[in-house]
Chains A and B, each alone.
Chain A
Amino acid sequence: MKKRGQMGEGIITIYRLLMVTVVAFIVFGVGSISYSHYIDVRDAEARILAREISICLSPNGVLNLDSIKEKEYGEILSYCGISQSERFYVEANVIDSSDKQIAKMYEGDSGALWVKELFLTGNAVLEWSAKNVELINKFNPGYFEFNHSIFILKDGKKVEGNIKIEALVGHEL
């Protein structure tokens, strides 16, 4: 009878320790996640990505649209040999000297553009405390946009124009 009682106490002790372990795991797990330091390099990544796309599309300042098939317009990252990632969205708008859009190339999650707009207009942070802004800021994608003049080669004709590249890099969480 005494042995049985001791066994029962032992089982209760193990159960208590298991409960304590679970509680400690939750407390310290949540603590370590919320206190971990995050170094944000998404803007730098967006800048590099935009530069890579620019070099790929218009090497030497000439964009040869005849060499890009229309179905590749929606797969610009793959066209440039960059591995597609859920974190990226790239858009390249090609316009001629009269501001007429000649081609639009893109790839990735366009939702990132919408999230960026929310942050740019301030809707996402309206009436939020400073602490909350810091919390949601990690969802603000890295962004880089640049515009430069190029020569566009289309249907064998060479015309002057512009290319506007937008690159967005989302969080890696």
Chain B
Amino acid sequence: MESFGEMLIFVNNGRVSLHKMKSKRASIMQQVIIQIILIGLIFAIFLFASAERVNARDVKQQVLEKQIALLIDSAEAGMNFEIKKVNVNGLVENIEIKEGKVFVKVEGFPSVKGYPYFSKYSVGVKDNGDKFVVSIK
């Protein structure tokens, strides 16, 4: 009878340790899955950020900034030129002229670097409804 009792305790202990092992394995699996998801998210964020950097909006912005800078460089005092907001290079949301640089915001993509111009005249930009007017004074 005693040995049967001992056997029962042994079996019960075995079940408990098996259960413990299973729950430990499950928690490790859970952690691994959470880590994989987090790492995947980090990579996805960086992938989208770098895709944003090299996608068409970036190129369109560069084209617009350089075209405007060249127009400013070659313009004489008293000249004005217009840039339509609905442009062939996308929706132009804002044009800024500061510190000798042109900054163009295209389709929600703001400009960080801008592009320098070297005109000797003073340059201003005005939002005029459906277009921006750049004036050289």
User: CB-CB contacts of B43-66 with A at 8 A, as 1s and 0s?
Assistant: 100110110011000110011001
Query: Is B90 in the interface zone, CB < 8 Å from A?
Result: no
Query: Is B100 in the interface zone, CB < 8 Å from A?
Result: yes
A41 → B minimal CB distance (Å): 5
In the bound assembly, the distance between CA atoms of A45 and B39 in angstroms comes to 45
In the bound assembly, the distance between CA atoms of A39 and B68 in angstroms comes to 14
Q: Which residues of A contact B59 (CB under 8 A)?
A: 37, 39
Q: Which residues of B contact A44 (CB under 8 A)?
A: 70
B126 → A minimal CB distance (Å): 23
B73 near A28 with CB under 8 A, answer no
The interface residues of chain A, by DSSP majority, are classed as helix
User: CB-CB contacts of A93-106 with B at 8 A, as 1s and 0s?
Assistant: 00000000000000
- Count of residues in A whose CB is under 8 Å from the partner chain: 33
B residues 12-45 near A (Cβ < 8 Å) are: 31, 34-35, 38-39, 42-43
- Count of residues in B whose CB is under 8 Å from the partner chain: 28
In the bound assembly, the distance between CA atoms of A12 and B34 in angstroms comes to 13
A24 near B42 with CB under 8 A, answer yes
B70 near A28 with CB under 8 A, answer no
A82 near B46 with CB under 8 A, answer no
- Chain B residue nearest in CB terms to A18: B42
In the bound assembly, the distance between CA atoms of A45 and B49 in angstroms comes to 31
Instruction: Give me the interface of A with B, judged by CB distance under 8 Å.
Output: 9, 13, 16-17, 20-21, 24-25, 27-29, 31-32, 35-39, 41, 44-45, 48-49, 51-52, 80-83, 85, 87-88, 172
